[in-house]
Amino acid sequence: MVNTAVTLCGVKMDNPLIPASGTFGFGYEFAELYDINCLGSFSFKGTTKDPRFGNPTPRIAECPAGMINAVGLQNPGVDKVLSEELPRLKACFHKPVMANVSGFSVEDYAFTVERLDAEDQIGWFEVNVSCPNMHGGGMSFGTSPKAAAEVTRAVRAVTKKPLLIKLSPNVTDIVSIAKACEEAGADGISMINTLLGMRIDLKTKKPVIANKMGGFSGPAIKPVALRMVYQVYEAVNIPIVGMGGLCTAEDVIEMMLAGATAVEIGAANLVDPFICRDIIEQLPAVMEKYGIKNLSDIIGGAH
């Protein structure tokens, strides 16, 4: 009998599978399809201080081995998340959930985390300093060690809950940024967010997406994600949640060997809404195939 359990920042999970923020709503949408309590956890829709309509449409473009999105963190704002979304979530999901938070200023991040902090069901905060689809916020905080550390310190001051900083791959040195976050008080690192990409329509000769550029995700980015997780694992002493192009049980094991304690599944949820459930069901057989008894034993096993 294999053991799929892992512990992320002191919180025990039945398995390492976490649907990524922005691909799983607030959970109850997927609970209409299957019992989402089979998940290790999930990261709910990126939440900001104020409501956001998001970017103009079109926001999505398909491309080989992936997709580009520029949704722009559409969400109802933290007050509505507290009053409407989380009560609906609590009715169908009975495990700790990951709260994904973004902002346009350091104060925005701290405000939103402080408002959410009292919610018992929130097990971790995932602070997004890496969204490529926002003007004047998001990724601008995640492209320098100093700025990422500033956000980390501000959020650390308003919560005692585990704090994961979600990093951008659109940098030349992700290791220095991860180390700066660790030194500023982060309990873990989430990585990677989407790569910056675009498509051009040959008929109109214009960018397909109204925002011109957007976040490129899907199987094509997996080698980049693996490389970055591997590098950061060697540089920090805090756990990593690895993501980027994962869509099979074998992908999960490969990412954990690179150094991830848990994994997030993103774009694949938009292709197949049952993908996380299916990976969890397939994981024990794949573990047995590769002689793995305890999944937690393989974290960083490729080093």
CB burial class (10 A; 0-12, 13-18, 19+) of residue 60? Answer: middle
pLDDT tens digit sequence for 206-259: 999 999 999 999 999 999 999 999 999 999 999 999 999 999 999 999 999 999
- The answer, yes or no, to whether residue 134 has pLDDT greater than 70, is no
Q: What is the pLDDT of residues 257-294, one digit of tens each?
A: 999 999 999 999 999 999 999 999 999 999 999 999 99
> What pLDDT is recorded for position 143?
82
Domains of the chain listed by start with CATH number:
6-298 (3.20.20.70)
Q: Tell me: the pLDDT tens digits for 54-79?
A: 999 999 999 999 999 999 999 999 99
The verdict on whether 92 is a catalytic residue reads: no
Examine the pLDDT at 6 and tell me if it is beyond 60: yes
The reported pLDDT for the residue numbered 132 is 53
* Catalytic pick among 38, 63, 92, 131: 131
- Residue % of the chain over a pLDDT of 70: 97
In this prediction, residues 106-126 reach a mean pLDDT of: 97
